[in-house]
Chains A and B, each alone.
Chain A
Amino acid sequence: MTFIAKPKVAHPSLPKNALGFTRRDYEGALSTLCAGCGHDSITAAIVEASWGLALEPQNVVKLSGIGCSSKTTAYFVSGGHGFNSVHGRMPSIAMGANAANRSLHYIGVSGDGDTLSIGLGQFCHAIRRNLNMLYIIENNGVYGLTKGQFSASADVGSRAKKGETNFQPPIDPVLLAMTLGASFVARSFSGDKQQLVPLIQAGLKHQGFALIDVLSPCVTFNDHEGSTKSYAYTREHYEPAVHADFVPLEREITADYKEGETLPLIMHDGSRIVLRKLDAAYDPTNRTLAAAQIQERMKAGEYLTGLLFVDLEPAQSAFHVVNQTPDAPLNSIPFEVLSPGSKGLEKALARYR
C-alpha cells in the first residue's frame, strides 16, 4: 500500500550517476499492483533510464489518467511532481503543463483503455500538436481495475478469462501514431528491459511527441491460454525489428557496431540513437514502408518491436515552434513584461471611443 513508506536505504557501494544519485533516488512509492504485473517492469525500466540519463528528479513531471497503468506514476522518481488526472484526459494536462513550462521532462503513462478508448481523441491531438513528451502505453488488452473487460487493443480471436471471444478489430496505437505524423514511434515488451531502457532514454531526449507502446501482460485477467496479450503469447510473437541504443553526448560510440548494419542518428543535443536493424528488410526511417511492414507482419501474427519509426529533423509542427513561444518557460516571464500597464490600456481603448 502506498501509505506505507518505502524505506530509502542505499548501500554505499551502489553505483552513482553523474549527479551522484543512485537508482534508489529515482524510485517512488511501493507498487500496489498484482505480483508479476508487466507494469512494474516498465516502472523499473523508467527508473533505470532516468538514472542513466542523470535527470534532475525535480525536472521530471509524471502524468497519467486512470487505470492500473496510470497508478504507476507514483512508483518512480518521487522527486518529481506527479499528476494523476481523469480517465483518458492526461494529454490535455500534459499540454497545459508543457505550455506553461517547456523546460521540464514530461512522462505520460497510460493504458490501452485510457489511450485507445476514452482518451483516443486527446491522444491523437497530442500527436497532432507534436507535444514534447514521452508517452508510454502499458498495453495489456484488458481493463484490469474493473476486472477483465476487453479493451480496444484486444486482438480478434483473443479469449477473455471468462471465456468470451473478441471479434472487433483492435486499434493499434503504433500504426495510428504513424498515420498521424508522430516522429518517434516504438513498440516494446515489458519483459525486455534491454530493449526498453534505451527506448525510454531516446524517447525522453526526443524533441517532440515520442510514443512507446509497451506490451505489458496482465497476470490476473489476461495471462491465460487463448489470450494474445499473455506473457507466453507475447514472448512467442514479438519480433525485434530494430534495436535502438541510446548513446549520450558524453559517451563515444563503442566498436560493437559493425559498419553497414548500424545507423547512428544525431539528436538535437548531440546525443545519438544507434539503430541496429535486426530485420534487414525493415526501414525505420521510411514512414510509409515501415507502416506497411508493421501491418503485414501483424497479419501474420507477429508484433514488430523496437524503434519502428524515427524522424529527428526539427519539426515545424512542434507546439512551441508553432506558437513562437520564447525559450524561457512562460511561467517564468515577469509580470512587468506581461502586463502592458496603464499607458498600454489607453492605447488599446482608443478604438472603442
Chain B
Amino acid sequence: MSAANSTRVNDFTIKIATVNGTGSASANTLLMKSIFRSGIPVMGKNYFPSNIQGLPTWYEIRITRDGHVARSGQVDIMVAMNAETYARDVREVAAGGYLVYDSTWPRPALLKREDITVLGVPLAQLCNESFNGVRTRILMKNICYAGVLAALLDLDLERIRELLAETYAKKPQLVESNMKAIQLGYDYARGAFACPLPLRVEKMAKTAGHIMIDGNTAAALGCVYAGATVAAWYPITPSTSLMDAFKMFSDRMRVDPASGRKNFAFIQAEDELAAIGMVIGAMWNGARAFTATSGPGISLMNEFLGLAYYAEVPAVIFDIQRVGPSTGMPTRTQQGDLMECAYASHGDTRHVCLYPSNPEECFYMAVQAFDLAERLQTPVLVLSDLDIGMNDWMCRDLKWDDNYRPDRGKVLGKAEVLELKKFYRFLDLDDDGIPYRTLPGVHPKAAYFTRGSGHTQYGAYTEDSADYQVVLDRLLRKWATAKKLVPRAVIDATAGAPVGLVSLGSCDGAVREAIEVLKSRGVGVDYMRVRSFPFSEDVERFLTAHELLFVVEQNRDAQLRALLTLETAVEKSRLRSLLHYNGLPISSSFIVEGVLAELQPRQRLQPKGAAHG
C-alpha cells in the first residue's frame, strides 16, 4: 500500500523514536492531545524502557478517522531522533512514507531507501541558536519536532498554545519558551517542504463526549467511587500509577473539609505478601480494600490468595500484566497471567477474574470487583495490562449513577445476630453456596475464628474427612453462583458465521478492526469477548455454535485457549490460536493475516461462501 500517492487525511500512523529522559513524553502528549482536541479520534502507544534516562523509547500516534483503538501495524511517518536506533527506525517506515530526522549531523546511510521521502530538519542547530543551557537545548529539540509535525500535518498552533497554557498554568514563562521551539520547527518546515503532506489532519467532530485517559487512572477512580478506604501495595511497574492515581484522587476528594482528616489509608507495604495481607485484613474487618500489582506480585501473593479463597475473605487485586516470565520486560505488555490468576495458590483454588478491555471498562469493573468480592466473599482479580493501564486511550465519558450503593454481601449486623440461636460462619443457608459473615466488634455472639486450616461448616477446626469435604463442596456451589454473577461475554454474532473469534482484554480493539477488514475482504466472522472467569454460560453456547474458533490472545502458551478447554466442553480441535507475545500491543493486521492464512486454503477446498455463510 503506498501512502505517498494517496491523500490519507486523518488516517495514518506517526512513530517517534527518542531517548528516554529527554522530555519527549511531553512533546508526544502535546501532539496527540492537539489532534484529539481537533475532534479527530487518535490512539497513542508508548514503548518505553525500564530505565530513567538514556535508553531508546518510541511513541506511536495513530490518527484514525474511523475511531480504531488498536495499532494498525504500519508506520507512515517516522520521526527518528535517536541515532542509536536510526537503522531499524528507517527500516520500519512503510513504502511511500516519510522520515523526519535531525539533519544537524549528516546521515548518508539514510539515503539507502528510495521508496520513502526523507525530510531533514536541523533541529539541534535551530535549538542551539535559540536556547541556552544543555538541558534546555535537549528538551527544546523535542518540542521543536512537534512544531515540524504541526506544519507537516497542518495542526492548529492555537490548539497547541492552549494545551501548553493548561499544562504550565503555574509557570507561564514555560508556555512562551515551548511555543518558541514549536514555532522554530514549524517555520523551518513551512520554508523547506511542501506543507502540509498528503498525510495530514483535518478537523472532525468525533471526540465530543470522549476523554483521553489511561486504564490505571480510570481503575483508581473506580476504587474511589466504589468506596475503597484501604489501599496497600508494593511498587511495581506497570501498576504503580494506579496507586498514585488513587492517592491523587483521594487527596482531592476524600479529605474531610472540616477536620482535614483523610477518609482513606494508603499503605506502601514492605512487599506484595504484606500488601495482600493488609487487603485481606481490612476487608475481613469490613473496609473496602485493594492492591495493585503485576505478575511477579501475583506470584508472591499466591499463599495469601489461597487463604482468602478458603477462609472466604473478600479482596480486590488489580494485576496490570507485563511481559514475563520472571522479570521479563517490565515496560512491555502481555496477557501472560491468565492461568496464574485463575488458579493462584496450592490446593483446589479458583478465583474470580475480570478482564477489562479499555480504561472505560477498568472504571466500571473496579466497582464491580468490590461488589463481587463482598457478595461472593472471595478474592476478585482484575486483569488489566500495561497497554490498557499506561497508555492514554480515547474512551467514552465515564458515567456515574448516583443511585449506586455498594453490595456489601451477606454481613450480619448486631440485631440480626441476636435473633439467631447461634451464629455459624460457614453454613449454606440460602443454597447459593454463600455463607453469612460478621465483622469484629459487633457482639460476642457474632464472633468466629477465621482459619486456613481445615474447618467444619460450623467454623470449628477439623481433620475429619467428611466435615472437611462438606465445606470444600460448598465452595464449588459458590463457584456456580459466581458464574451467574460475573459479567457476561460480549458477543457479536451478526455475521452468523461458522467461524468465530474469541478474545479478551486489550485485544478487543484490534479484533474489532480486524473483523471489519475481514468483512471488507468477504470473510464474515462472529466475535465473542470473554469478560470474566468463571466463564459465564453464554461462553459455552458461543463455543458450541461455531465450527471453527480463533482464540486471539497476547501470550505464548495460549492461556485463554487452555482455560476454555479446561472449563468448558469445547473440543480442542476446533480452537486455533492467534498468539501475539512480542511485548508490543497486538495490531489488527496481525489478526487479519492470521485468520486469512488459516481460512483461505480451507476456502479453496469448500464451495464459495461456505466459510462465512
Contact = CB atoms under 8 A, between A and B. Distances in A.
Counting chain B CB atoms within 10 Å of each CB, the highest count among A122, A324, A352 belongs to A352
Contacts of B282: 96-97, 99-100, 331
When A and B form their complex, which 6 residue pairs have the shortest distance between CB atoms, in order from nearest?
A: A96-B281, A92-B277, A79-B444, A100-B287, A96-B278, A96-B282
Nearest to A64: B451
A232 interface: no
B262 A95 contact: no
A59 B224 CA distance: 28
Contacts of A305: none
Contact of A349 (B264, B398, B441, B461): B398
B307 interface: yes
13 contacts: A57-B444, A61-B441, A83-B281, A95-B274, A96-B283, A96-B285, A101-B286, A101-B439, A325-B264, A330-B229, A331-B286, A342-B399, A342-B402
B406 interface: yes
B232 to A, nearest CB: 7
A89 to B, nearest CB: 5
A74 interface: yes
A94 B441 contact: no
Nearest to B218: A352
A122 B230 contact: no
Given A330-B230, A341-B400, A352 B212 contact: yes
A165 interface: no
A262 interface: no
B274 A61 contact: no
B267 interface: yes
Contacts, number: 228
A100 B285 contact: yes
A320 to B, nearest CB: 8
A341 B402 contact: yes
A15 interface: no
B270 A121 contact: yes
A122 B283 CA distance: 19
B539 to A, nearest CB: 32
A35 interface: no
Nearest to A62: B449
Contacts of A80: 440, 444, 447
A103 B287 CA distance: 13
Contacts of A73: 449
Contacts of A2: 460-461
Nearest to B444: A79
A73 B453 CA distance: 14
Interface size class of A (residues with CB under 8 A): 35 or more
A342 B439 CA distance: 30
Interface of B: 166, 211-213, 217, 221, 224-227, 229-230, 232, 249, 252-254, 256, 259-267, 269-271, 273-287, 289, 303-304, 307, 397-402, 404-406, 438-453, 456, 460-462, 464
Contacts of B256: 326
Contacts of A331: 229, 282, 285-287, 439
Contact of B447 (A57, A93, A339): A57
A323 to B, nearest CB: 5
B266 A323 contact: yes
Contacts of A97: 281-282, 284-285, 440
Counting chain B CB atoms within 10 Å of each CB, the highest count among A58, A59, A319 belongs to A58
A96 B232 contact: yes
Given A58-B443, A342-B402, A348-B249, A94 B281 contact: yes
Nearest to B304: A86
Given A96-B289, A100-B229, A81 B267 contact: no
Interface string A336-349: 01111110110011
Given A86-B303, A99-B278, A345-B398, A339 B225 contact: yes
A52 interface: no
A4 to B, nearest CB: 10
A103 B441 contact: yes
Contacts of A100: 229-230, 281-283, 285-287, 289
Given A82-B451, A121-B274, A340-B253, 11 more contacts: A78-B447, A83-B281, A96-B283, A99-B267, A100-B289, A319-B265, A325-B263, A339-B226, A340-B225, A342-B400, A348-B253
Given A58-B447, A97-B282, A335-B406, A348 B461 contact: no
A353 interface: yes
B263 A89 contact: no
Contacts of B232: 95-96, 99
Nearest to B287: A100
Given A95-B281, A331-B285, A349-B398, A84 B453 contact: yes
Contacts of A351: 166
B273 A92 contact: yes
Contacts of A345: 221, 225, 398-400
A338 B281 contact: no
Contact of A84 (B262, B289, B451): B451
What is the predominant secondary structure among interface residues of chain A facing chain B?
helix
B304 A89 contact: yes
B281 A81 contact: no
Contacts of A341: 400, 402
Nearest to A57: B444
A101 B289 CA distance: 12
Contacts of A342: 399-402
B505 to A, nearest CB: 21
Nearest to B254: A338
Contact of A3 (B275, B277, B406, B460): B460
A325 B264 CA distance: 7
B441 A59 contact: yes
B317 to A, nearest CB: 13
A104 interface: yes
Given A79-B444, A340-B253, A84 B277 contact: no
B271 A61 contact: no
A59 to B, nearest CB: 6
B221 A348 contact: yes
B394 to A, nearest CB: 10
A325 B265 contact: yes
A95 B275 CA distance: 10
A104 B280 CA distance: 17
A80 B397 CA distance: 46
Nearest to A2: B461
A317 interface: no
A122 B440 contact: no
Contacts of A124: 270
Counting chain B CB atoms within 10 Å of each CB, the highest count among A91, A98, A331 belongs to A331
Contacts of B166: 351
A340 B278 contact: no
A335 B277 contact: no
Nearest to A101: B285
Contact of A353 (B211, B285, B446): B211
Contacts of A99: 230, 232, 265, 267, 278, 281-282, 287, 289
A108 to B, nearest CB: 11
Counting chain A CB atoms within 10 Å of each CB, the highest count among B224, B401, B464 belongs to B224
A333 interface: yes
Given A100-B230, A340-B253, A125 B270 contact: yes
Contact of B227 (A82, A98, A339): A339
